[in-house]
Amino acid sequence: MKFSKRILNIAPSATVSISAAAKNMKAEGKPVLSFSMGEPDFGSPKSANDAAIEAIKRGESHYTLNTGIIELRRAVCDYYKRRFGLEYKPDEVIVAAGAKPLLYEAMQALVDDGDEVVLFAPAWVSYIEQLHMAGGVEKVVDTMSTGLLPTKEKLLEAIGPKTVGIVVNSPSNPTGAIYPEETLRMIAEVAIEKDLWIIFDEIYERFAYEPAKHVNIINVVPEVKDRVIIINGVSKAYAMTGWRIGYALGPKEIIAKMATLQTHLTSNASSIAQWAAYGAVEGADEDVEKMRAEFEKRRRVIVDMINDIPGLKVREPEGAFYVFVDVTGCPVPDDMKFCEMLLNEKYVAAVPGTAFLAPGYIRLSYACSMDNIKEGMKRMKEFVEGLKK
């Protein structure tokens, strides 16, 4: 039996597969603590649940507009106006079954075979594979030695005649870094000068910890707006990963192209989930703030506990809900091996940095309970100390 070259060239999502492995081990009765999935442990906001229940009662059980119900797209426009002062119209917004398909659609709409897209490493696992699915080639700008932020010099070096775009993810998964205004200005100016698209993935925008502040790139350089595709959604901000609702905002020409693709893929995202997302975007600001405050407390605890483990190093992340830990100073400096041993010996699941183009590091999500964090980091300490003997 033959499989396509396309599928054979795609690596499975490490975040998804490791968390599946952890879930399977747990189902076998092993005392697994998972730090692998970037998924808030909170329930969905009441306003989202209520809106979904009402939608079921009203019988909202049919196909919706391909680009999403007008109420949700209007609510997203209102949100962008109140949060960032940005003006978008509903035909500049598309709703999909999560942010992931939107990134895929954007890549498919922009990238021809052999075209290049700049990725800043460490980079979230799906960018590179989705780019490959579109026939594109990654130009990786490593930021590990430059404070997790790209420099202009390295960015310019990566751009050539075949480059069509840049992916920016702030707050970053996996590092939690937030791009400051100067970096965003530099990227926007380069994109304008070189005539490039920017895919601006701000799905973690609600999770910034003082004194850091999340900034939208269009607020820094307004002229960049006609080349930016914003990616956002309800998965992270409202702890609604399972509902599968994401939205993208951008010039209507690109949104229409993404919609064309979507007519042949999913048609529309689930009608009930769209209503739930509407409820969240319209009425869950307080819930989001509570979650943010809780993540901030957990961040403090996990960072302190890791820094107390000799051989491990972690920098305090400014946003999102991940810590990116340097394991090169411990007796098992290979991140793949480290994660495998940690899971098998201590039942603690983490994702190797290699999956994010950053070997020597591991990613832990602290979107789990404080008890998990305390017990998990205790086990990790025992694990690393045990390696020394």
Binding site for ligand PMP (CB under 6 A): 38, 98-100, 124, 169, 173, 201, 203, 233, 235, 241, 246
Question: Should residue 37 be labelled a site residue for ligand GLU when binding is judged by CB under 6 A?
Answer: yes
The residue number with the shortest CB distance to ligand GLU is: 38
Which whole-number Å values give the CA distances from 252 to 69, 90, 225, in the listed order? Answer: 16, 9, 12
HSE, side-chain direction, 13 A CA sphere, residue 256: 5
Question: Should residue 38 be labelled a site residue for ligand GLU when binding is judged by CB under 6 A?
Answer: yes
CB of 39 to ligand GLU, least distance (A): 6
Name which of 221 and 320 has its Cβ closer to ligand GLU.
320
Residues 321/299, Cβ–Cβ less than 8 Å: yes
78 vs 67: CA distance, rounded Å: 17
Cα first-last separation, the chain: 49
Query: In this structure, is the dihedral angle defined by the CA atoms of residues 232, 233, 239 and 245, taken in order, positive or negative?
Result: negative
Position 284: which residue type? A
Question: Should residue 13 be labelled a site residue for ligand GLU when binding is judged by CB under 6 A?
Answer: yes
| Beta strand extents in 107-162 (DSSP E only) | 116-121, 137-142
> Which of 159, 169, 168 has the alpha carbon at shortest distance from 115?
159
CB of 128 to ligand PMP, least distance (A): 12
Q: Which of 10, 16, 56, 293 binds ligand GLU (CB under 6 A)?
A: 16
Question: Should residue 15 be labelled a site residue for ligand GLU when binding is judged by CB under 6 A?
Answer: yes
- Residue 203, binding choice from ligand GLU, ligand PMP, none, Cβ under 5 to 8 Å by partner class: ligand PMP
Per-residue binding string, ligand GLU, 110-129, x by CB under 6 A, is --------------xxx---
CB of 122 to ligand GLU, least distance (A): 11
Q: Which residues bind ligand GLU (CB under 6 A)?
A: 13, 15-16, 37-39, 100, 124-126, 173
